[in-house]
């Protein structure tokens, strides 16, 4: 029988023995090719709730699979494998291994929100994409994205001092993402700044870089933020069935 859906045969499902003899008949190589089953044998009912517990994913259960999100999607027009409708379905029914096959493209959402406006059921697919990318990171399926690293360095500094000091922020971000501080464009930009900025401002920048000043009376605010972050983090970890954080971020 011809196989009508070649696309359904996945390389990892092809089983082939280089040496195989059955009842004295040599069926080595292509003669022993089998295709492993694609049957879904159960639903992971926790998955929809896990995504729904993350910001943006709250309304995923409303989806009725009309495909408006995929049809309106900016990224899908360029990369047909980027299919929000399909991922929402996989999440809703808990087909985790199927979703993980696309883990390296889900982050490509550009947050244009065309899907959000097209969706007849207010699923907010853009939010679901964000929540899904977040879920993949928290579960350890993908490494934190560059944007996530920047957010962490940025917010860590704000939480610590109540302020942003750009030089420190950039140094921290570049260090965490393994980027050199002596890149030509960066050196050029800093030279330009130094030659153009007023001396008084430069001195204040320099002092801030050395002394890390804090906002006055920041201690109590800092503690309140730290408590809130720890609480949010803990509730997400519980919702995602993850062990408690080894040490809370502060």
- What does each C-alpha distance from 211 to 3, 47, 165, 217 come to in angstroms? 70, 47, 11, 17
Is residue 241 classed as helix, strand or coil in its secondary structure?
coil
Of residues 46 through 75, those in contact with other proteins by CB under 8 A are 48, 61-62, 64-65
Query: What is the Cα–Cα distance from 238 to 227, expressed in whole angstroms?
Result: 16
- Site track for other proteins across 5-24, x = CB under 8 A: x--x----------------
- Looking at residue 81, the DSSP 8-state letter turns out to be T
Among 96, 105, 118, 121, which residue sits at the site for other proteins (rule: CB under 8 A)?
Answer: 121
Give min distance, CB of 62 to other proteins, in A.
5
Query: What is the Cα–Cα distance from 87 to 60, expressed in whole angstroms?
Result: 10
Interface with other proteins by CB under 8 A: which range of 32-40, 103-111, 124-132, 184-192? 32-40
Give min distance, CB of 14 to other proteins, in A.
17
Residue 86 or 107: which CB sits closer to other proteins? 86
- Site track for other proteins across 86-115, x = CB under 8 A: x--xx-xx-x--x-----------------
- What does each C-alpha distance from 123 to 59, 68, 112 come to in angstroms? 5, 11, 15
Among 6, 37, 180, 195, which residue sits at the site for other proteins (rule: CB under 8 A)?
Answer: 37
Give the total of residues touching other proteins (CB under 8 A): 23
Give the residue from 40, 50, 35, 176 showing the smallest Cα distance to 98: 40
Q: Are the C-beta atoms of residues 91 and 159 closer than 8 Å to each other?
A: no
Residue 86 or 173: which CB sits closer to other proteins? 86
Sign of CA dihedral 163, 236, 97, 84: negative
Residue 66 or 205: which CB sits closer to other proteins? 66
CA 188 to chain centre: 32
DSSP 160-227: HHSS--HHHHHHHHHHHTT--TT-HHHHHHHHHHHHHS-HHHHHHHHHHHHH----TTHHHHHHHHHH
Query: What is the Cα–Cα distance from 18 to 29, expressed in whole angstroms?
Result: 5
Interface with other proteins by CB under 8 A: which range of 85-93, 141-149, 205-213, 224-232? 85-93
Among 45, 81, 104, 151, which residue sits at the site for other proteins (rule: CB under 8 A)?
Answer: 45
The answer to whether 40 contacts other proteins (rule: CB under 8 A) is yes
Among 34, 43, 117, 228, which residue sits at the site for other proteins (rule: CB under 8 A)?
Answer: 43
Give min distance, CB of 38 to other proteins, in A.
5
User: Could you list the residues that contact other proteins (CB under 8 A)?
Assistant: 5, 8, 37-43, 45, 48, 61-62, 64-65, 86, 89-90, 92-93, 95, 98, 121
């Amino acid at each position: 029988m011809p196989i009508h859906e070649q696309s359904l045969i996945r390389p990892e499902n092809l089983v082939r023995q280089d040496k195989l003899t059955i009842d004295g008949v040599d069926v080595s190589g292509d003669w022993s090719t089998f295709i492993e089953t694609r049957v879904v044998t159960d639903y992971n009912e926790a998955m929809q709730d896990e995504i729904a517990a993350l910001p943006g994913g709250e309304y995923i259960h409303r989806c009725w699979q009309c495909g408006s999100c995929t049809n309106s999607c900016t990224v899908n027009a360029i990369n047909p494998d980027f299919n929000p409708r399909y991922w929402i379905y996989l999440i809703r029914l808990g087909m985790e291994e199927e979703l993980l096959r696309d883990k390296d493209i889900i982050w490509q959402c550009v947050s244009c929100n065309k899907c959000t406006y097209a969706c007849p059921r207010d699923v907010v697919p853009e939010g679901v994409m964000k929540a899904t990318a977040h879920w993949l990171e928290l579960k350890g399926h993908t490494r934190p994205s560059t944007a996530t690293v920047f957010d962490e360095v940025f917010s860590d500094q704000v939480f610590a001092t109540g302020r942003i000091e750009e030089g420190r922020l950039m140094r921290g971000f570049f260090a965490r993402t393994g980027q050199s501080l002596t890149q030509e464009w960066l050196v050029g930009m800093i030279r330009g700044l130094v030659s153009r900025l007023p001396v008084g401002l430069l001195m204040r920048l320099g002092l801030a870089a050395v002394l890390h000043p804090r906002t006055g009376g920041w201690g109590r605010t800092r503690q309140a933020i730290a408590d809130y972050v720890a609480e949010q983090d803990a509730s997400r970890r519980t919702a995602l069935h993850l062990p408690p954080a080894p040490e809370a971020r502060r």
